[in-house]
Amino acid sequence: MEKRISGTTALYSLIGTPVGHSGSPAMYNYSFQKLGVDSAYLAFDISLEKVPDAIAAMKTLNIKGSNVTMPCKSEVVKYMDELSPAARIVGAVNTIVNNNGKLTGNITDGVGFVRSLKENGVDVKGKNITIIGAGGAATAIQVQCALDGAKEISIFNIKDDFYKRAEETIEKLKQEVPQCVVELYDLEDRQKLREKIASSNILVNATKVGMHPHEDESPIKDNAVFRKDLVVSDTVYNPKQTKFLKDAEAVGCKTVDGTGMLLWQGAEAFKLYTGLEMPAKEVEELYFK
């Protein structure tokens, strides 16, 4: 590493808190080294109150780009000079590109999700998709699927604070992507959930249900909704094989776990930073297996 760092080495970063567990520094530094890019990547523990300072530091130190994680993804939006269409609709940013002091905010989570499906031979274009969840991951996926040509998106969420967020997302999508039909239902309406899954090609869990340490939970209570020609995908990546995916697999569904979304959202950010394709297959072998 010490041989790689010189007076010309560009710096990229991750901001948010906590960041100590993040795999991003390993993933990006490996990719820089592998492709001979004179850059390095560090994680900085930044709380919400420190966001203005972190953005100012980014400009002062000419940090070329930064990933943004919880809890700062929405907060950084107001400091951007420009937003990608998806970041504008979602109202959150996970990748900032600094072009000589001009900051552009992007959100690559949805792109990562769509790419992960594509790598598994599944295209969202023209499809009916049921998405359980209305938080950060879910909203990014809903917006990207709509932008990428999904025909109909049915959102299900419990009646918590995220339900309102889904109502706002739907209003924005009606304006920006009117050709995609997007509707919201209460997750407790199990009859409607069965109905919508029955007419869907793809079913997604984008809630925290099933995430460690609650591995024995699934947002689906009635496994009869799974059928062989339904593609079933989870955003949860810890554990990689959730109960939701195991139950779907038992019926013969094609399943796509959350690690692909994580890998490809990083690859998309890498491309925005460098213009290069991340060596994704090697990164996957090293850090995601």
Report DSSP state, residue 83: E
Task: Please identify, using beta-carbon distances, which residue of 84 and 207 lies nearer to ligand NAD.
Answer: 207
Question: Is residue 163 annotated as involved in ligand binding?
Answer: no
Task: Please identify, using beta-carbon distances, which residue of 34 and 212 lies nearer to ligand NAD.
Answer: 212
Closest approach, Cβ 33 to ligand NAD, in A, equals 23
Tell me which residue of 128, 130, 112, 109 sits closest to 120, measured CA to CA: 112
- DSSP three-state, residue 13: strand
CA–chain centroid gap for 260, Å, is 10
Q: Do 137 and 144 form a contact (C-beta atoms < 8 A)?
A: no
Task: Please identify, using beta-carbon distances, which residue of 153 and 262 lies nearer to ligand NAD.
Answer: 262
Q: Do 142 and 86 form a contact (C-beta atoms < 8 A)?
A: no
Question: Is residue 116 annotated as involved in ligand binding?
Answer: no
Closest approach, Cβ 207 to ligand NAD, in A, equals 3
Question: Is residue 252 annotated as involved in ligand binding?
Answer: no
Closest approach, Cβ 58 to ligand NAD, in A, equals 22
Closest approach, Cβ 190 to ligand NAD, in A, equals 13
Strand partners, 105: 83, 96
Task: Please identify, using beta-carbon distances, which residue of 37 and 267 lies nearer to ligand NAD.
Answer: 267
Tokens of 137: 């991951």
Tell me which residue of 232, 179, 224 sits closest to 204, measured CA to CA: 232
Question: Is residue 17 annotated as involved in ligand binding?
Answer: no
Q: Give me the helices (H) in 92-189, please.
A: 109-119, 136-147, 161-176
Chain residue whose CB lies nearest ligand NAD: 135
Interface ranges with ligand NAD (CB under 6 A): 109, 112, 133-138, 157-158, 160, 162, 187, 206-209, 211, 219, 235-237, 258, 261-262, 265
73 catalytic residue (yes or no): yes
3, 59, 73, 240: the active-site residue? 73
Q: How far apart are CA 194 and CA 27, in angstroms?
A: 39
- How would DSSP label each residue in 245-258? HHHHHHHT-EEE-T
Question: Is residue 218 annotated as involved in ligand binding?
Answer: no
Binding region: 22-24, 69, 94, 109, 133-137, 235, 237, 258, 265
Residues flagged as binding site for shikimate: 22-24, 69, 94, 109, 237, 265
Catalytic residues: 73
